[in-house]
Structure 1
């Protein structure tokens, strides 16, 4: 089993990467393969097409996902939102695969950021993985993040919970049939 983690920060090794790395280490301890993709800086530098193409291939073969972002104005980075808007064209490859959102900030705006990211999952019939608190860490630097004991615990638990859900889904496939997908009915409120 494999989980792909997407870093929506412009900083490849900043606070968001640090949080995602904590989740990845917890998943790996549970026997789950991980890969962190730093997409924020690349999207910022105008490489959106290449980033989405690369990620689309990873999505097909992944079993679960974690999308992480720093908080910018009480929401995810514009880079992550642009990336997710484009990547969600591969919606069928996300169905029924668990996903989690992670936010990092100095002070506030985390839950609003998590809410924006989680809506992509809800729209795509993806189980949303939670932890023992909101999936967030606080700090201005990666070193600060590691001092956030509650945040570190939350990221570690998130990895454990993701591993448990992945293993449960795998075990369930032997006895429980996955729901059949139906095309969405699109209601028009303008007549």
Structure 2
């Protein structure tokens, strides 16, 4: 089984990428194959509401999103990470969410296990609202949404850092991200017995 981690940060080696990779490392410890995708530097374009995906046709926009949507469809579990941008996800991750509409039309993500990670500039930097936005997306896609667990009991992985590398010193954020990766793996094992 495979767990896909996507960093929605425009910084290739930023804090969000660091925490998503930490989550994937925990899944690997439990025997899972993992794949990491950074949206940094990719050609991503917004949905233009052409409705082709609703007709069962391929998206008319040619960019890097098609490969990412394909990877999401093939994965058994998905961890989406985003820095906090005005209390929500980055525009890069939002484009993936919007452009994966074809997966919703065909229920391609139904019953896949999903989780969220978010990084804010401070401890109260909008991580929970960003995670809630990712969870809402996953619920709409009919995914099984998991979160961090006791003793930290957050919505998901919640890190903080205002410049690249800050999360390497954020023990709490790293722990919550690791818990998320472990939880996705554990739930996948339970439902695939």
TM-score range, shorter chain: 0.7 to 0.9
Q: CA deviation at 1:60?
A: 2.6
Deviations 1:89-144 (A, max 9, x none): 21221011011111011111111111111111111211101113232111123432
Match of 1:157 among 166, 174, 179: 179
CA drift of 1:40 comes to 4.2
Displacement of 1:71: 0.6
Aligned residue for 1:60?
73
Larger radius of gyration: 1
Structure 2 counterpart SS, 1:41: coil
* 1:64, distance to aligned residue in structure 2 (A): 0.6
SS at match of 1:94: coil
The TM-score, its normalising length taken from structure 1, stands at: 0.83
Q: Which residue of 2 aligns with 1:125?
A: 142
- 1:181 paired residue number: none
Provide the C-alpha distance between the structure 1 equivalents of 2:45 and 2:11, rounded to a whole number of angstroms: 12
CA distance in 1, matches of 2:23, 2:145: 15
Q: Shift in Å at residue 44 of structure 1?
A: 5.6
SS at match of 1:42: coil
1:94 matched to 2:116: no
Equivalenced residues, count: 170
Contact 1:39 1:51 in 2 (8 A): no
Provide the C-alpha distance between the structure 1 equivalents of 2:97 and 2:45, rounded to a whole number of angstroms.
Answer: 16
2:172 paired with 1:139: no
Shift of 1:169: 1.1
Alignment RMSD, CA only? 1.7
- Counterpart in 1 of 2:54? none
Is the CA contact (8 Å cut-off) linking 2:44 and 2:63 kept in structure 1? no
Unaligned runs of 5+ in 1: 172-191
> Of Structure 1 and Structure 2, which has the larger fraction of its residues in helix?
1
Deviations 1:144-186 (A, max 9, x none): 2021111111111111111100101111xxxxxxxxxxxxxxx
